[in-house]
Amino acid sequence: MKKLKFRHELKYYVNYHQYYLIRQRLRFFLKQDQHANEKGEYHIRSVYFDDIENKALQEKQAGIQDRHKYRIRVYNKSDSIIHFEKKIKRNTLIAKEKEAISRQTLNRLLANDYTVLEQEESPLLREIHYEMKNRMLRPKVIVDYVREAYIARTGNVRITFDKDLRTGLYKIDPFDLELYPIKTIDEPVYILEVKYDEYIPNYIRDALQLSGLQRQAASKYTICRKFTKSNSWEDQ
């Protein structure tokens, strides 16, 4: 299995004024993500999974330091790239495993047909098969937002602003034509994420003015799960 590479991940809530000032500074010396459109943005839609005990949700709310969660992620509402991902947290460090799946596999997984993964060689997909079969891992909620990303080669730093966070409520198909995600945050607030390997260069730290921001948990999954009426498994 490929060795995991853990990184630091810091999250902050910023208002529009803070976002605008930081963004203007970053544009001078960082590159925007190559997948961004003419506005410097791209769209992310994820389907988060949880098990019969809602383990991912409960551990996040309890502040457990070592935990993980599963999600399927697509970009710009296209099925050309579909990843099943496992995000792993170890104390203050984050790592991610991911494996590409087909649209057909996605559809079967959304229908709780985990047998589609029986013959997979990928350790991650075999793990997901086990979790779906034995712990009733199931799709729970759609998390939908727009991302503006900046990249610095020095220190392998990646800075993102996640905007217009929405949830699909009880819809779980990211390609559902009748999916109309609703806003989850009323105020004009953005989620600033700072990801880096060993260090943040001083010029980036100065531009971000992190000393003036308060670090937050800012779990998009938890925010969106609050919009479901119940955490029970009556439908299973």
For 57-137, where are the E strands, in sequence order?
67-75, 78-90, 93-100
pLDDT of residue 196: 92
Q: What distance in Å separates the CA atoms of residue 35 and residue 149, rounded to the nearest whole number?
A: 9
Q: What angle do CA 211, 163, 143 make, to 5 degrees?
A: 115
Q: What distance in Å separates the CA atoms of residue 131 and residue 102, rounded to the nearest whole number?
A: 19
For the chain, where are the E strands, in sequence order?
7-15, 31-32, 41-50, 67-75, 78-90, 93-100, 138-152, 157-167, 182-183, 189-196
Q: What distance in Å separates the CA atoms of residue 155 and residue 68, rounded to the nearest whole number?
A: 25
Q: Please determine, for residue 231, whether its predicted confidence score (pLDDT) is greater than 60.
A: no
pLDDT of residue 229: 52
List own/partner pairs for 180-184 with CB under 8 A and 24 or more apart: 181/142, 181/144, 182/227, 184/223, 184/224, 184/226, 184/227
Q: Which of these, 77, 41, 35, 89, lies nearest to 221 by C-alpha position?
A: 89
Residues 6+ apart with CB under 8 A from 45: 73, 74, 75, 77, 142, 143, 144, 174
Q: Please determine, for residue 180, whether its predicted confidence score (pLDDT) is greater than 80.
A: yes
Give the lowest-confidence range in 22-26, 63-67, 152-156.
152-156
Phi, psi (rounded to 5 degrees) for 60: -65, -45
pLDDT of residue 2: 66
Q: Which of these, 204, 83, 94, lies nearest to 151 by C-alpha position?
A: 204
Distance from chain centroid for Cα 96? 10
pLDDT in tens, 135-157: 999 999 999 999 999 998 777 89
Q: Are 88 and 95 in contact (CB under 8 A)?
A: yes
In order of 27, 50, 108, the CA distances from 137 in angstroms are: 41, 5, 14
- Domain at 7-225: CATH code: 3.20.100.30
Global pTM reads 0.91
pLDDT of residue 109: 97
Q: Please state the domain extents for the chain.
A: 7-225
